[in-house]
Structures are given as C-alpha cells and as structure tokens.
Amino acid sequence: MIFGSTTGNTQTVAERIKGHLEGAGHEVTIQNAMDAATDGFENYDAFVWGSSTWNDGELQDDFIEYHMQLEQMPPDLNGKKFAAFGTGESVYEKFCEAVTILEASLAQWGAQKMIDGLMIDGYPEDEENAQKVDAWAKELISKL
C-alpha cells in the first residue's frame, strides 16, 4: 500500500484499510509515497494506492514526484491487481480526481482493477466516512 498525505487524512484511511487487510490474514506493506521504491513490484500480488487531491485535481505533492518517476520508467504490472482510494472535499470541481489518476495509471501499466475507487469527502474520522472505509475494505478483501 502506497499513500500520499499532506494533512494526515489519507494516511488515516490507509491505516484503517491496512487494519482490515491484516485482520483478514493478508500481509501488508505500507509506505508513504515519498519513501516508496519505484521497483520491486514483482514481489507483490496487489497494490492499494491512495492520494489526497489538491489544487486543480492533482495528486498530493509526494505522490506527484513518485508518479512522475514511474511515468518515466513504467513498471510492468501485468498479472497484478489494484485498488485506489483518496480523500478530498466535494466543494471542489475535481473531487477526488487523484483516485481517477491512480486508477488510470495502474491500469495503463497492466494491473487489473479489483473494485471501484474509494472517495472520502471530508474527514475520515467522521462516522459516515469510517463506515464507508470499512465497507470498502471488506469488499476489497473479498476480491483478493
């Protein structure tokens, strides 16, 4: 699992998803995009990437740099699975556009989407959003 988080909201979602995955018996490696390697993808069966959305529908700053490096030397993700999630605020025109960007890139590099992206509006600690994360994580587990 790789995430990009400026305010901590996306990291909160990542950690909640990780808890569900580990609780279901899956081994999870979680990294901030600024610390993530751009190789070694062959060592994983599935990828769960998350980013908050900034400015005019852009990836979070750390994830922008990571994504640009991958675009320069695209990984071969054929035979791998993926899911994407993100946080944002629906008052903006391009709400959670980062999820769309991540899904498009992972698919372009050959991975197969397991489930529709999770888009959290506002604070992940809000009860409604926490329930949304929990339900998404359970659906994700059923696809692994």
- Mean pLDDT per block of 10 residues along the chain (144 residues) reads 97 98 97 96 96 96 96 97 97 96 98 98 97 98 97
Which domain CATH number covers 89? 3.40.50.360
Residue 115 burial (CB count, 10 A) = 16
What residues are paired with 58 via a beta bridge?
A: 54
The answer to whether the Cα torsion of 52, 48, 118, 9 is positive or negative is negative
Q: Which residue has the tokens 């901590």?
A: 8
Give the per-residue pLDDT at 130: 98
Give the per-residue pLDDT at 136: 98
Give the per-residue pLDDT at 128: 98
- Give me the count of residues in the chain: 144
Amino acid letter, residue 54 = W
Tell me the backbone φ, ψ of residue 136, rounded to 5 degrees: -65, -45
How many domains does the chain divide into? 1
108 vs 19: CA distance, rounded Å: 29
Give the per-residue pLDDT at 54: 95
Strands 58-59 and 112-113, bridge-based pairing:
unpaired
* Domain of residue 82, residue span: 2-143
Strands 58-59 and 46-54, bridge-based pairing:
antiparallel
pTM score, whole prediction: 0.96
Residues 6+ apart with CB under 8 A from 88: 52, 53, 95, 96, 97, 98, 119, 120, 121
Give the per-residue pLDDT at 6: 95
